[in-house]
Structure 1
Amino acid sequence: MCNKSDSIVNLAKALVAFNLEVKIIEKDAKNPHFKNDYATLDTIIDEVRPLLAKHGLVIMQFPGGDGEHYTLRTMLVHESGEFIESEPLTMKPVKNDPQGIGSCTTYARRYSLSAMLSLNTGEDDDGEKATHSSTPAQPPAATPSAPRQASSTNTQSSSSGPAALISAAQISYCHKIKNDKGISEDDFRAMIAAIPGRESIKELTKSEASVFINKLNAM
């Protein structure tokens, strides 16, 4: 549950007025993994700061951490003194060096700011493209071991044939989320093994991969 002042009446009115005026944030950068465009932190700030000030609002973001994990709290403050503060967003940098922490900071600030203000920035397009990639799926290589019982999700046929397997783009996106969020390899494999009849990420169907991506993003 987020922290807030005893009253947010004035803040709520100002936020409603802000949302009536704010427009879709233009995308000005390209995701190197899926070649889709998205809005950078600088662009988002340049777009929203004048409108926030117009309605007596300001965004404040407070970084922190314990030397291993990075945390960020985002606060929306009204000129009346009313405020709403998010729960800390905790992330583990891929590399614990200035560059890794800087990248983690930008990522956290961008997503926290967009979520706090309910902005339309198109930043989740990479997940959408990964889930609906047109890249042909390659079945996992056959092994000499005896075949195990496969789940009905992957073997049940319909008029359109068996369910399609996970795409290469989905696999790449799953590993990107794992690295961005600092999920260990053991935890990653355990999440896959929790899916009935699955031992490897290459065995997931496209629909199972979509659910798996949502679980990773929610961690």
Structure 2
Amino acid sequence: MNISEPTENANVLESRSQIEVDYQLKIKLQSAFNKGLSHFRQQVKAPKKNGHVGYKTKSGGKNYDYVLLEDLIKAIDEGLKDTGLAWYQDCETANGVVRVRTIVTHENGYSKSSSWMEFKTSGNPQDAGSAMTYAKRYSLGTTFGVSSEADDDGQQATKAAPSNRTAQQPAHRNNGTQQNNCQPLPVTKQQATTLNGLFEAMSKAASAPIEAVRNGYLEKLNVSQVNDLMHDGANQLISLVTAQLKKQSEKGNSND
């Protein structure tokens, strides 16, 4: 008689039970994530195409209108209100190749990443900046299903800068081929409000002064105030604090 058999069977059953629990939890988290996306699609408003590109070809001139990255971000952030969703982007450059992906997170800790968007450039800083801008805009737009362009203005990001800026474009704004979007955008008012609420919740959950909690998180990104954060950094902190709040809550429930 093999006396270890009952223990082995018990371990197998326990393992299967844990897999089932994990699967059910994943389904629950994914369902909340999808519900947030559905809410987003119901309230998001299409941004205006304020970007204008004009360039010469052998057959004459061509013009394209598209959504500026800053306007796309504003529209998406407005649409994400009360959905429990947030987002950030990974941005990489190496050997003349730029690539971007968009990560969407839910307050329950569930997240999804888009595939990498890659463009090969000449290696020139201006070309790399143009390609990065286009990649970030295209990745963000396709991830959330928000149209950001009327035509193939990606050609400008990987081949050449526009020959001129059209008169309709405001003088204080750069078009997508002139911006170097490796410079991050600042934190939004909505992000700042969300973070302050999360810091307060963590303060109560950890029984710690809110100043200590806030400063501890902000130091991770080498800033002293929420308003000093950049957009991507703010989204990363939102995801981090949300996940740790979830763990804190689970820990508290297990001690009940």
| TM-score, normalised by the number of residues in structure 2 | 0.45
Question: 1:1-219 residue pairs with structure 2 within 5 A?
Answer: 6-7=26-27, 8-33=30-55, 34-93=62-121, 95-121=122-148, 123=149, 125-127=150-152, 177=155, 180=158
> Measured at CA, do residues 105 and 11 of structure 1 come closer, stay the same or move farther in structure 2, by a change above 3 Å?
same
Give the Cα–Cα distance (whole angstroms) in 2 for the partners of residues 177 and 67 of structure 1. 20
Offset, 1:179: 7.5
Give the Cα–Cα distance (whole angstroms) in 2 for the partners of residues 32 and 178 of structure 1. 10
Give the Cα–Cα distance (whole angstroms) in 2 for the partners of residues 180 and 40 of structure 1. 17
Query: Does the Cα contact within 8 Å between 1:58 and 1:76 map onto a contact in 2?
Result: yes
Query: Does the Cα contact within 8 Å between 1:91 and 1:181 map onto a contact in 2?
Result: no
Offset, 1:63: 1.0
Query: Does the Cα contact within 8 Å between 1:58 and 1:77 map onto a contact in 2?
Result: yes
> Measured at CA, do residues 26 and 179 of structure 1 come closer, stay the same or move farther in structure 2, by a change above 3 Å?
closer
> Measured at CA, do residues 11 and 59 of structure 1 come closer, stay the same or move farther in structure 2, by a change above 3 Å?
same
> Mind listing any 5+ residue stretches in structure 1 that lack a counterpart?
128-172, 183-219
Partner amino acid for 1:120? S
Query: Does the Cα contact within 8 Å between 1:25 and 1:39 map onto a contact in 2?
Result: yes
Report what 1:201 is aligned to.
Answer: none
**Aligned sequence identity (%):** 27
Deviations 1:120-151 (A, max 9, x none): 33x1x334xxxxxxxxxxxxxxxxxxxxxxxx
> Mind listing any 5+ residue stretches in structure 2 that lack a counterpart?
1-24, 56-61, 161-256
Query: Does the Cα contact within 8 Å between 2:131 and 2:157 map onto a contact in 1?
Result: no
Q: How many pairs does the alignment contain? A: 128
Offset, 1:91: 1.0
Partner amino acid for 1:27? K
SS of the residue aligned with 2:88? strand
> 1 or 2, which has the higher helix percentage?
2
Deviations 1:150-183 (A, max 9, x none): xxxxxxxxxxxxxxxxxxxxxxx8xx7498289x
Offset, 1:35: 2.0
Report what 1:152 is aligned to.
Answer: none
Query: Does the Cα contact within 8 Å between 2:41 and 2:79 map onto a contact in 1?
Result: no
SS of the residue aligned with 2:100? strand
> Measured at CA, do residues 60 and 181 of structure 1 come closer, stay the same or move farther in structure 2, by a change above 3 Å?
farther
> Measured at CA, do residues 116 and 101 of structure 1 come closer, stay the same or move farther in structure 2, by a change above 3 Å?
same
Query: Does the Cα contact within 8 Å between 1:31 and 1:126 map onto a contact in 2?
Result: no
Partner amino acid for 1:180? T
SS of the residue aligned with 2:74? helix
> Measured at CA, do residues 179 and 71 of structure 1 come closer, stay the same or move farther in structure 2, by a change above 3 Å?
closer
Query: Does the Cα contact within 8 Å between 1:92 and 1:181 map onto a contact in 2?
Result: no
Bigger Rg, which one? 2
Bigger mean CA deviation after superposition, 58-67 or 14-23: 58-67
SS of the residue aligned with 1:46? helix
